A and B are shown apart, each in its own frame.
Chain A
Amino acid sequence: MKWSPALFAIVAREALRFVHQRERFVAALVRPLVWLLVFAAGFRAALGLSITPPYQTYITYETYIVPGLCGMVLLFNGMQSSLSLVYDREMGSMRLLLTSPLPRWWLLTAKLIGSSLISIAQVYAFLLIAAAFGITLPPMGYVAAFPALLLAGFMLGALGLALSSFIKQLENFAGIMNFVIFPMFFLSSALYPLWKMAESSRLLHDICAANPFTHAVELIRFALYGELNLAALGWTLLATTLFGAAALWGYDPARGMMQSRK
């Protein structure tokens, strides 16, 4: 039996679902744009940034938070597309997927590829609008960022998939907002550089440095300037592997939490 038709079909289905949910696309764009155009404008005056790699000149705060906001798009999408599985309506389609005679790791990977590509399309839409407001990056950076965005999308999608298999009931999205998305986003280098964080609290700095989202953001940040941050790549790969393994474990029919939802 051929494996490739399932991959293309799953990716195409994610894309179609996305096209049908225009409000989701708008929300995904408005969210980082509000941060960029409102929050960052206000913060620019308050926060001075010294020159640290990958930046070679003094940069504005808006420029600093662009990679973090790319990460935010991936974070929200990764959680949203995977956690929609928790709802019953989506559980039906998951059942359909899992009764296909293909290895589960392949089916889950196909789902991750699909949701990551959708997220990346949104990231580029965001970057385009940011550019229209004058916040531009080196041209090659837009290309170099693609693999970084893909890996970060995988990492966050795998986390969402793992969570969707362990969380029995989810009344709404708020629980995940409060306990996963907000801590991951705020305790990272998305909004403030780690050295700045260290000035106020060593503990906060250490938490941020251990947060996989920080490394995903740094990977994207360096890639946007055509550079490879090896340490960030290593940590992001490690986290992707761990989250992926947790997702596979969660959807294993012998041990998984599917059992709690007959």
Chain B
Amino acid sequence: MTLSVSNLSFSYGTKTALKGVSFTLAPSFSALLGPNGAGKSTLFALLTRLFTAPGAHIEIAGHDLNANPRRALAALGVVFQQPTLDLDLTVRQNLKYFAALHGLRGADASHRIDAALSRLDMRERAHEKVRKLNGGHRRRTEIARVLLHEPQVLLLDEPTVGLDAASRAAITDHVHGLAEDGMTVLWATHLTDEISDNDHLLILHQGQFIADGRAGDVANGRSLKDYFLAVTGDNAA
């Protein structure tokens, strides 16, 4: 298992966000589905060690996040919900900055940047300022960036928010491709149409998992959207 979480609880003051969550992920595409406010962003903040929860155990690629945070973070790639690109820098400059944060520079960094941009069909835009890119290309830049240090585990927090249908489909396909190549992907979303029947599905509702299995099996003949609405009573899907 490349990502394992056990007994993860977290509260903001008196408001409980996560109640004893446990799960494991193998190399594949796993979707974390939940209505707004279900605890997805809290889970991501804990997985990326923006803050920590006492008593929980999180292991990334075999490294305990609490005991050995730097090794664990080195194996992790994150695409945050909020854009984190510097708009005044070019695509390439943004990637170079990130590479340096992971100790990469020179020819090695350059080579990885070319490979990642090619993979996301962004090579020809390398020298454009991010400010000039549309939302879809900005997201693709962020996904290319997160591949630079070859993480084993990839976390994406609602990466398609605000994108048009074509960009959403392209990005969903790109990331499915990464999972097929052996990466462990956790894709948080509140949109059921981004999940295919063969994906591993986790449904988070009110700080707890209410489903964990193959998406097709979980929906059990119904459309995933209907199932999701029925179990969460939410109309955001």
User: Which range holds the interface residue count of chain B?
Assistant: 35 or more
A253:B50 contact, CB within 8 angstroms? yes
In terms of DSSP, what is the predominant structure of the interface of chain A?
A: helix
Q: Which residues of A contact B41 (CB under 8 A)?
A: 262
Mask: chain B, 68-98; 1 = CB below 8 Å from A; 0 = not: 0111111010101011101011000100111
Complex Cα distance, B234 from A51, in Å, reads 76
With A99-B50, A100-B101 already in contact, the answer to whether A1 and B74 are too (CB < 8 A) is: yes
Please give the distance in Å from B31's CB to the nearest CB on chain A.
Answer: 21
Which residue of chain B has its CB nearest to the CB of A100? B101
Cβ-neighbour of B50 out of A8, A100, A102, A258 (below 8 A): A258
Q: Which residues of A contact B99 (CB under 8 A)?
A: 5
Please give the distance in Å from B175's CB to the nearest CB on chain A.
Answer: 18
Q: In the complex, how many residues of chain A place their beta carbon closer than 8 angstroms to a beta carbon of chain B? A: 34
With A20-B88, A256-B51, A260-B12 already in contact, the answer to whether A101 and B45 are too (CB < 8 A) is: no
Complex Cα distance, B71 from A253, in Å, reads 16
Q: Which residues of B contact A175 (CB under 8 A)?
A: none
Q: Which residues of A contact B208 (CB under 8 A)?
A: none
Of the stretches B102-110, B115-123, B193-201, the one at the interface is: B102-110
A262:B103 contact, CB within 8 angstroms? no
Mask: chain A, 74-105; 1 = CB below 8 Å from B; 0 = not: 00000000000000110111011111111100
A6:B82 contact, CB within 8 angstroms? no
10 pairs, CB–CB < 8 Å, chain A vs chain B? A17-B88, A20-B88, A98-B50, A99-B50, A100-B73, A101-B71, A101-B103, A253-B52, A262-B12, A262-B45
**Which residues does B use to contact A, with CB under 8 Å?**
12, 17, 41-42, 45, 48-52, 54, 69-74, 76, 78, 80, 82-84, 86, 88-89, 93, 96-105
**Which residues does A use to contact B, with CB under 8 Å?**
1-3, 5-6, 8-10, 12-13, 16-17, 20, 88-89, 91-93, 95-103, 253-254, 256, 258-260, 262
The 4 closest A-B pairs by CB, nearest first: A9-B100, A101-B74, A100-B101, A92-B84
Apart from A12-B97, A89-B82: 11 A-B pairs, beta carbons within 8 A: A6-B100, A6-B103, A9-B100, A13-B89, A13-B97, A95-B50, A95-B84, A96-B98, A99-B78, A101-B71, A253-B52
